[in-house]
């Protein structure tokens, strides 16, 4: 069966760059990136950079926030809401990145509220899931990821609506920022399990339309191999997205893969 899911290559800039870096980065990226439009490109800059990135990419890519609160507004010092993100022209939000789970106390319960708030507010949610090294070594990686998905997506109300605005990023925690990647076979194994879990949670048709990205030390040198797996629909790239030429090369690997599977 032909895979109709779009290939998505996303940059997670984490807490790097300032607004002054945005225009030079985007100018270099624009020169280097393939212009065939087959890859959906997304930038997740830090919140103060969102407006500048939206203006600079000018339709070349989509833009999303790295986090948002589940309430629309309120006395939540330091937080950013879905309407604030949307008003800047950003269209996505990352939910439950492992750095937020590990360092800022995010749980599956807060992820569920954040996914729901993003979708209700008209944004697209990219939910991150992934096991720690201890969980993998104990053989619990599949169960952990299924539990994260179930608790974060299990009570979505409209089964037919979210998939158009839902993406999953599988990011094994031990691969993030470590230079270690899942082998293509291990990535495929987990992506297939995620797709099965999505079918249970969202229905088969809907789950078939949700792109599942791989993240964790993706670079220009390993992107083609990871993206060649049948259930790997793209990449969420941290460190290697900070250099525009390298990120453009990863987009090019995605474009090549997308051309082959269409
Ligand atoms: P990395 O980060 O590519 O630097 O491993 C990926 C991520 O955290 O999304």
For ligand 1, is residue 172 a contact (CB within 6 Å)? no
Distance CA 118, CA 136 (A): 30
* Per-chain mean pLDDT for the chain: 93
CB 146 within 8 A of CB 197: yes
Distance CA 257, CA 223 (A): 10
Q: How confident is the model at residue 34 (pLDDT cuts 50, 70, 90)?
A: confident
Per-residue tokens: 74? 């309120």
Check pLDDT > 70 for residue 10.
yes
| Three-state secondary structure of 2-36 | CCCCCEEEEEECCCCCCHHHHHHHHHHHHHHCCCC
pTM of the complete model: 0.96
DSSP state of 233: -
> Between residues 191 and 157, which one has the greater pLDDT?
191
Closest to 168 (Cα-Cα) out of 115, 221, 205: 115
26 phi, psi to nearest 5 deg: -65, -35
Q: Which atom of ligand 1 is nearest to the CA of 215?
A: 6
Return the residue whose CA atom lies nearest to atom 3 of ligand 1. 238
Q: Which residue bears the tokens 């995010």?
A: 106
Give the end-to-end CA distance of the chain in Å, rounded to a whole number: 10
Q: Which of 181, 182, 221, 239 to mutate to test the pocket of ligand 1 (most atoms within 8 A of CB)?
A: 239
Segment 135-151, tens digit of pLDDT: 999 999 999 999 999 99
Bridge partners (DSSP) of residue 40 are 8
DSSP state of 58: T
Per-residue tokens: 121? 């507010």
114-128, 156-170, 186-200, 205-219: the lowest-pLDDT one: 156-170
Segment 107-142, tens digit of pLDDT: 999 999 999 999 999 999 999 999 999 999 999 999
Q: Which atom of ligand 1 is nearest to the CA of 241?
A: 3
Q: How confident is the model at residue 3 (pLDDT cuts 50, 70, 90)?
A: low
Distance CA 214, CA 7 (A): 11
pLDDT number for residue 1: 44
For ligand 1, is residue 41 a contact (CB within 6 Å)? no
For ligand 1, is residue 126 a contact (CB within 6 Å)? no
Distance in Å, CA 60 to ligand 1 centroid: 22
Check pLDDT > 70 for residue 157.
no
Q: How confident is the model at residue 203 (pLDDT cuts 50, 70, 90)?
A: confident
Average pLDDT over residues 24-38: 93
Closest to 235 (Cα-Cα) out of 220, 214, 251: 214
Burial zone of 47 (CB within 10 Å; 0-12 exposed, 13-18 middle, 19+ buried): middle
Q: Which of 11, 171, 241 to mutate to test the pocket of ligand 1 (most atoms within 8 A of CB)?
A: 171
Helices 141-153 and 184-202: crossing angle in degrees, nearest 10, is: 30
Distance CA 87, CA 240 (A): 29
Check pLDDT > 60 for residue 2.
no
Q: How confident is the model at residue 158 (pLDDT cuts 50, 70, 90)?
A: low
| Three-state secondary structure of 180-227 | CCCCHHHHHHHHHHHHHHHHHHHCHHHHCCCCEEEECCCCCCCHHHHH
């Amino acid at each position: 069966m032909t895979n109709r899911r779009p290939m998505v290559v996303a940059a997670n800039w984490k807490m790097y760059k300032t607004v002054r870096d945005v225009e030079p980065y985007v100018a270099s990226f624009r020169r280097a990136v393939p212009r065939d439009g087959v890859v959906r490109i997304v930038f997740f800059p830090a919140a103060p950079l969102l407006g500048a990135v939206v203006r600079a990419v000018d339709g070349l890519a989509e833009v999303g926030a790295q986090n948002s609160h589940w309430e629309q507004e309120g006395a939540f010092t330091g937080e950013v809401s879905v309407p604030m993100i949307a008003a800047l022209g950003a269209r996505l939000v990352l939910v439950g990145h492992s750095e937020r789970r590990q360092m800022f106390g995010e749980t599956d319960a807060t992820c569920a509220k954040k996914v729901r708030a993003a979708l209700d507010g008209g944004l697209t949610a990219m939910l991150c899931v992934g096991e720690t090294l201890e969980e993998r070594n104990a053989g619990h990686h599949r169960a952990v990821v299924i539990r994260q998905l179930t608790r974060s997506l299990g009570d979505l109300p409209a089964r037919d609506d979210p998939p158009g605005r839902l993406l999953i990023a599988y990011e094994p925690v031990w691969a993030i920022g470590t230079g270690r990647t899942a082998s293509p076979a291990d990535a495929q194994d987990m992506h297939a399990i995620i797709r099965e879990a999505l079918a249970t949670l969202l229905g088969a048709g809907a789950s078939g339309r949700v792109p599942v990205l791989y993240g964790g030390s993706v670079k220009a040198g390993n992107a083609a191999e990871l993206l060649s797996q049948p259930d790997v629909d793209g990449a969420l790239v941290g460190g290697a997205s900070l250099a525009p030429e390298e990120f453009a090369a990863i987009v090019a690997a995605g474009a090549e893969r997308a051309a082959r599977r269409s």
